[in-house]
Amino acid sequence: MKVSILNGRLVDPASGLDLAAGAASALHVADGRVVAIGDAPAGFAPDRTIDAAGCVVAPGLLDLAARLREPGYEYKATLESEMQAAIAGGITGLACPPDTDPTLDEPGLVEMLKYRARGIEGTRLFPVGSLTTGLKGEVITEMAELAEAGCVGFSQAMAPITDTQVLMRAMQYARTYGFTVWLHPQDPYLARGGVAHAGPYASRLGLPGVPVIAETVALNTIFDLVRVTGCRVHLCRLSSAAGLELVRRARAEGLPVSCDVAAHHIHLIDLDIGFFDANCRVDPPFRSQRDRDAIRAALADGTIDAICSDHTPVDDDAKQLPFGEAEPGVTGLELLLPLTLKWANEAGVPLATALAKISSGPAAVLGVPEATGRLEVGGPADLCVFDPREAWTVSRATLLSQGAHTPYVGRELEGRVRMTLVGGRVAWERTAGARSA
């Protein structure tokens, strides 16, 4: 299919391209790839012409953490519902952690997941394999075989490895094959039993806290092991000013580390828990205003490579409980773009810089050819067309994710996807308040 997208503002953070609406910003697609920017190739006759007036045309968004709940947790969400939510959010590629049931620790399970995803024809799926069998932190998986099956990295998801010798061996194995290990830096003993940021507010509410030192102790251990093994590590969902400062020092030292932060952590703090709002029960917890401000500064100065949705659909039964008993997790796929734009608007950050955190930044972490996170002639036509000024109110009716729990229900956000193309195919389109796929 041949498509021309006209009259939009073309923004590609990877190349620095930022073209105002006009003839130069026209983009032409054929056979799943971008064939021209500006003038169409000679003889090019589009099957469809899209008017993107008032919209931004950008690379499809990439998300480094989205739980699709299959296999094993279909009562919380399904592959179909969450992949529809992803493309409705402009996401053309996402990484899913291995904490499914069974966990992604065998090649057959990974192949089955990718087969299911291909049948749905939504966003591109990049599984992250289990670092240890069953995520038990005891036996290292056959990473080479899992990589052949399609895994882009290896992780424990939120499960700890308490035996640091196992972690070191796993990192040595990964280093041998050039794999990236994705780690959630949180010491399990220091965080044990905690449900909120350890601070004055949690004390007043009588909630057990997760101290910042749980993150910094884990980071120091990881960095020591990186120095010994040389393994490339991606740090998932950093939450504290102290943790980010350690990352800066590690990078200055030359350690091969990257990191991301969840979109909701850019905006919310421990006070947003309010009167025990279970929609604010997340892991890691929302921290202090100082930590939130440090996250914003680290995004702007490049310390943080990517913003992810940390999408975790939770069913009503697990969420409608007292705060400390509620399951952590919120929906985020459809909020990734507007929450990133909200940060950019509030912080005075250029649009291209903000979009880099959800396109070229995560693409560099994923390191796979299908996830380029950029617009270039000859590259995959994975595109997101969005109206940066369209205001909408978040509600269960506006979200496609089966897990509609988020602190943003009832709030108005700016920035909404009009159209998503995956491999040159219009996978999602929203017109005049209606929606279709």
Q: How many angstroms from the chain centroid is the CA of residue 111?
A: 22
Low-confidence spans in the chain with pLDDT less than 50:
434-437
Task: State how beta strands 129-130 and 27-30 pair.
Answer: unpaired
| Nearest partner of 97 among 69, 137, 126, 128, judged by Cα | 128
Q: How many CA atoms lie within 13 A of 383 on its CB side?
A: 33
What are φ and ψ of residue 35, in 5° steps? -105, -15
Q: Are 95 and 127 in contact (CB under 8 A)?
A: yes
Q: Are 131 and 157 in contact (CB under 8 A)?
A: no
The C-alpha angle with vertex 305 and arms to 301 and 308, in degrees rounded to 5, equals 125
Q: How far apart are CA 274 and CA 52, in angstroms?
A: 40
Q: How far apart are CA 138 and CA 160, in angstroms?
A: 10
Task: Transcribe 192-258 into DSSP letters.
Answer: TT--EESSHHHHHHT--EE-THHHHHHHHHHHHHHHHH--EEEE-----HHHHHHHHHHHHHT--EE
- Per-residue confidence (pLDDT) for residue 83, from 0 to 100: 95
- Per-residue confidence (pLDDT) for residue 370, from 0 to 100: 87
| Nearest partner of 421 among 161, 144, 32, judged by Cα | 32
Q: How far apart are CA 73 and CA 318, in angstroms?
A: 12
Tell me the pTM: 0.96
Q: How many angstroms from the chain centroid is the CA of residue 177?
A: 25
- Per-residue confidence (pLDDT) for residue 121, from 0 to 100: 79
Can you name the residues that pair with 413 across neighbouring β-strands?
392
| Nearest partner of 137 among 184, 176, 91, 88, judged by Cα | 184
Largest interatomic CA distance in the chain: 70
Enter the DSSP assignment of 327. P
Q: Are 284 and 259 in contact (CB under 8 A)?
A: no
Could you tell me the two tokens for 4? 């021309």
- Per-residue confidence (pLDDT) for residue 432, from 0 to 100: 57
How many residues make up the chain in this entry?
437
| Helices within 1-106 (DSSP H only) | 79-88
- Per-residue confidence (pLDDT) for residue 122, from 0 to 100: 85
| Nearest partner of 140 among 159, 154, 158, 157, judged by Cα | 154
Count other C-beta atoms under 10 Å from residue 253's C-beta.
Answer: 11
Q: How far apart are CA 246 and CA 249, in angstroms?
A: 5
Q: How many angstroms from the chain centroid is the CA of residue 188?
A: 23
Residues identified as active-site = 310
Q: How far apart are CA 98 and CA 104, in angstroms?
A: 5
Strand order in the sheet with 257-262: 129-130, 154-155, 180-183, 232-235, 257-262, 306-308
Q: How far apart are the first and last CA of the chain?
A: 16
Q: Hey, is 271 helix, strand or coil?
A: helix
